[in-house]
Amino acid sequence: MAEKFNLRGSGMTSQRARDRLVASLEAQGIMSTEVLKAIQSTPRHIFIDEALAHGAYENNALPIGFNQTISQPYIVAKMTELLLANKPVRKVLEVGTGSGYQTAILAQLVDNVYSVERIKPLQERAKVRLQAMQINNVTLQHSDGGMGLAQYAPYDAILVTAAADQVPAELLTQLAIGGTMVIPVGADQGQQLKLIIKKSASNYQTKVVEAVNFVPLLSGIIS
DSSP annotation of 35 reads: H
Quick check: 155 binds ligand SAH (CB under 6 A)?
no
Minimal distance in Å, beta carbon 102 to ligand SAH?
4
* Residue 129 to residue 178: CA distance in whole angstroms: 32
Angle between helices 33-40 and 15-27 (to 10 degrees): 150
Q: Which of these segments, 9-17, 18-26, 84-92, 210-218, binds ligand SAH (CB under 6 A)?
A: 210-218
* Residue 200 to residue 197: CA distance in whole angstroms: 9
Nearest to 92 by CA among 103, 78, 76, 81: 103
Nearest to 21 by CA among 47, 57, 71, 54: 57
E strand or H helix at 173, and its extent? Answer: helix 169-174
- Residue number with CB closer to ligand SAH (29 or 121): 121
**Binding track, positions 176-205, relative to ligand SAH; x by CB under 6 A:** ------------------------------
- The CA dihedral of 67, 60, 111, 122, to the nearest 10 degrees, is 20
Quick check: 42 binds ligand SAH (CB under 6 A)?
no
Quick check: 84 binds ligand SAH (CB under 6 A)?
no
Quick check: 70 binds ligand SAH (CB under 6 A)?
yes
Quick check: 117 binds ligand SAH (CB under 6 A)?
yes
Q: Which of 13, 32, 42, 69 binds ligand SAH (CB under 6 A)?
A: 69
Given the rule CB under 6 A, which residues bind ligand SAH? 68-71, 95-96, 98-99, 101-102, 116-119, 122, 144-146, 161-162, 215, 217-219
For the annotated catalytic residues, the residue numbers are 71
